[in-house]
Amino acid sequence: PAELKLRNITTMDVRGAATWEALASRDASSRDAAMASLHQEVMRRVESVGPMPETPSGPSATTAPGVADDLSDILARVLMLSKRCPYDDVREKCVWLLRSIQDIGVRIPRPLGNGPSKFIPEKEILKVSKVDSRTIFEEAFSLGRLDNISLVMGFHPQYLESFLRTQHYLLQMDGPLSLHYRHYIGIMAAARHQCSYLVNLHVNDFLQVGGDPKWLNGLEGAPQKLRSLGELNKILAHRPWLLTKAHMESLLKAEEHSWSLAELIHAVVLLTHYHSMASFTFGCGISPDIHAEGGHTFRPPSLSSYCVCDIANGNGAVDELLADQQVLEVSGEVEVLMERMKQLQECRDEEEASQEEMATRFEREKSESMLVTTAEYEECVPSRDVSRHFEDPSYGYQDFSRRGEHVPTFRVQDYSWEDHGFSLVNRLYPDVGQLLDEKFQIAYNLTYNTMATHQGVDTSMLRRAIWNYIHCMFGIRYDDYDYGEINELLDRNFKVYIKTMVCSPEKITKRMYESFWRQFQHSEKVHVNLLLMEARMQAELLYALRAITRYMT
C-alpha cells in the first residue's frame, strides 16, 4: 500500500506540476491564475467524488478511489501551502479554499504534529521564515524544495543558502551520476539511520526522475553497481576509520560493475551528505512535511486521537510551564560556561601541559566518547517500509563501542580537508570541492557573538571544542588542540546528545534535546546541530577521501 500511495503522489505531481510551480512563482499575477485553476480543479474533483460519506472509513471507500485519492493528495498539498508558502496571498487563498470546501461537506486534512520540528515550537520557526530567510525560502520554494529541514535551518540564513546551493548542485546539476542514482544513494544513506523523513523525500524524487520502483524493495533489487556500494555506505556511516584502499579498489575495479573515480567521489559526497543530514533530521526532530505521508490526517481532531506526545511536544501551556521550571533550575548554566571559557583563555599560557598529558587527554576523550551511551532506548522510531530493506542491523556504531575496539588516530595535519580533501574532490568533481569548502567554512565560522541572553561573546572556543569533539569521536586528532578544553566546556548531557546524534541519530529523543543547554535558544541549538552535521560530514569525507588517495598513489 505504501508503494501505491507513492505512485499516486507521483502521478499527481507530474500532472499538476505546472500549477504547483506557478504557485511558487514570484510573479503575483501568475500565482493568482494558478490559484484560480487550482480552485477549479479541486472543485471539479469534489463534484466528481461527491460529498464524502460521513462514515469514518475514509476516502478510499467511495466509488472512485482514484479520484478521491487524488483529491486528498491535492488537499494535503493545499494544506501545506496554506501553512508553508512564503507568499501571503497563496496562504490566505489556500485557507479560504479549504474552508469553502469544508462548508460543502468535504473532509479536509489537518496537519499532524506541531510545525516542522517536534522539538521547536512552530511559531519560532515561522517567525524567522517571515523575516530573515524570506528570499531564500522563496527561491527554495520555487525549486520545490522548501522542506521542513530548510525551514528549521532558516534560523541561519547564511548557512541555509550555502546548504541549498550545495544540495541543489549535488542532486540536480551536472555530475557523473545519473539523477535516479543520486536519489537512490540518498535513500541508501538515509536508510542506514532509519531516517524515514529523508527516505520518503527521496523515494518520491527517485520515482519522479524515472527510477525503477523495484529498486525500492531493497538493495537486492538494485543493480550490482549500487549493491556494491552498500558496504561502503555501512562502514562510512558507522566506522569510517575502517575504510581502506581495498574497499575503494573493490569498487573501482569490478569489471563491468565498476565505478569511475568521479562517480565514486560523487557517491561518497552524497553518502556523507545524507548521513549527516539524517543526524540533523533527528537532532532537530524534523517532522514529516505536511503534504507527505504522516504529515497530515483527515481524521477530525478528537480528544481520544490526541496523543500525549502531541501535547508534550507542542507549545501548549503545560509545556511552557515545565520549561519555566527548568529554566529556574538551571539558571546560571550559561554564566558558568562563559566563565570557564574565559578562564581557559587566560590561563592557557600559564598552565603548560606536557606532551604526554595532551596525548592522554585526547585518548581519554576518544575512549570516553565511545562509552557515552544513550541511556534512553524506549522511543523507537517506526521505520518506513522502504528503509527496512536497507538496514543491516548487525552493523552499527553501538556494537562497535561495546566491543571496545580501538579507534586508530587520524592526524588532521597529515590529511586535512583544506589541503588534501579539497584538491581531490575538486579534481574529480569540479565545483563541488568549492561548494563544500564554503559550506564547511560557513558552518565553522558562523557566530552571532551571543550566548543565550548574553551579547558580544567570542564563541570560537566553544565552537572549536564541539567541532573537535566530534572529530575526536571519529579518531581525528588536531595536534594543536588541548582536548582538556572539551571536558571543561561540554557537559555530560551535551556530550550524550552529540554522541547520539553523530553515531546513532535515530535514538535522539526530545528529552535529550531539551536536557542540554537548557537556557539556550532554539536557534542556538539548531546552530549546534549544524556544527555537528558539518563536522560529521567532514570526518566521514576525510576517511573516505584518504582511502581514495591511498588507492590512487
Partner 1 sequence: MNKTGRKTPPAVKAESDWLQPMSISTAPPYEESRPVHFSLWVGDARGVQVLDLNCGLNFPGGGLHEEAYHGRRNIGLHCGGFSVKRVFLGHAEMEKMTCVSPLSGKTMFCHLDAPANAISVCRDATQVVVAGRNIFKIYAMEETGFVERLNLRVGRKPSLNFSCADVMWHQSDENLLATAATNGAVVTWNLSRPCRNKQELLFTEHKRTVNKVCFHPSEAHMLLSGSQDGFMKCFDLRKKESVSTFSGQSESVRDVQFSMKDYFTFAASFENGNVQLWDIRRPDRYERMFTAHTGPVFCCDWHPDDRGWLATGGRDKMVKVWDMTTNRAKEIHCVQTIASVARVKWRPERRWHLATCSMMVDHNIYVWDVRRPFIPFATFEEHKDVATGVAWRHPHDPYVLLSGSKDSTLYQHMFRDASRPVDRANPEGLCFGLFGDLAFAAKESLMAGDAGRKPYPGGDRRYPIFFFKKPDVTEQFAQVSSALSVFEFEANGGDEGRGRMDWFVETARRYLLTGKPFAELCDHNAKVAKELNRPQVSTTWTMLRIMYSDPGNPATPANHNISKLGNIPLMISLKEMSSALNERNKENRVDNLHNLETNLNIDENEETEGSEGQAEYLFGDAELDDDDLYSMEHDNQTEEPEYILPQEAFPLRHEIVDHPSAPEPPAEKPESPQVSGGEAEGSCLTPMESFSLISVSQLLFQPRLPPGFFSPVVRAALTHYAELGDVQMAVSALIVLGERIRKEVDELTQEHWYMSYIELLQRFELWNVSNEVIKLSTCSAITCLNQASTTLHINCSNCKRPMNNKGWICDRCHQCASVCAVCHHVVKGLFVWCQGCSHGGHLEHMREWLKHSNHCPAGCGHLCEYT
Q: Closest CB to partner 1 among 346 and 356? A: 356
In whole angstroms, how close is the CB of 546 to partner 1 at the nearest point? Answer: 11
SS3 121: coil
Amino acid at 263: E
- CA 192 – CA 390 distance, rounded (Å): 7
Looking at the DSSP assignment, which residues form a beta bridge with residue 477? Answer: 411
CB of 454 within 8 A of CB of 338? yes
Q: How many residues does the chain have?
A: 553
**CB contact at 8 A, 369 and 404:** no
Contacts of 492 (CB under 8 A, 6+ apart): 372
- 347 catalytic? Reply is no
Please give the grid coordinates belonging to residue 19.
500549477
94, 195, 284, 503: the active-site residue: 195
Cβ atoms within 10 Å, residue 235: 20
Q: What backbone torsions phi and psi does residue 160 show, to the nearest 5 degrees?
A: -55, -40
Residue ranges in 382-431 assigned as alpha helix (H): 385-390, 397-403, 422-428
CA dihedral angle for residue 513, residue 516, residue 522, residue 525, rounded to 10 degrees: -90
CB of 273 to partner 1, least distance (A): 21
Q: How far is the CB of 33 from partner 1 (least distance, A)?
A: 5
CB of 442 to partner 1, least distance (A): 14
Closest alpha carbon to 536 in 467, 475, 481: 467
Give the residue with the Cβ less far from partner 1, 257 or 427: 427
Residue 123: which residues within 8 A CB-CB, separation 6 or more? 115, 315
Q: Is 117 helix (H, G, I), strand (E, B) or coil?
A: strand
Q: Given the complex with partner 1, which of 30 and 326 has the nearer CB atom?
A: 30
Cβ-proximal residues to 506 (8 Å cutoff; 6+ apart), any chain = 193, 194, 195, 278, 282, 381
**Interface ranges with partner 1 (CB under 8 A):** 18-19, 22, 30, 33-34, 36-38, 40-41, 44, 348, 352, 355-356, 358-359, 411, 413-414, 418-420, 422-424, 427, 437, 478-480, 549, 552-553
Residue whose C-alpha is closest to residue 193's, from 265, 117, 272, 263? 272
- All three cell numbers of 540, joined, read 566521514
> Taking the complex as a whole, how short is the minimal distance between the CB of residue 269 and partner 1, in angstroms?
17
Q: Which helix (H) or strand (E) holds 208?
A: helix 196-208
Rounded to a whole number, what is the largest CA-CA distance in the chain?
Answer: 81
| Closer to partner 1 by Cβ: residue 256 or 350 | 350
User: If residue 476 lies in a helix (H) or strand (E), which one and from where to where?
Assistant: strand 476-477
Q: ∠ at Cα 163 (158, 169), nearest 5°?
A: 135
Q: Which three cell numbers stand for residue 377?
A: 532506548
Question: Which DSSP string corresponds to 210-241?
Answer: T--GGGGG-GGGS-HHHHHHHHHHHHHHH-GG
Judged by DSSP in three states, 332 sits in coil
Catalytically annotated residues? 195
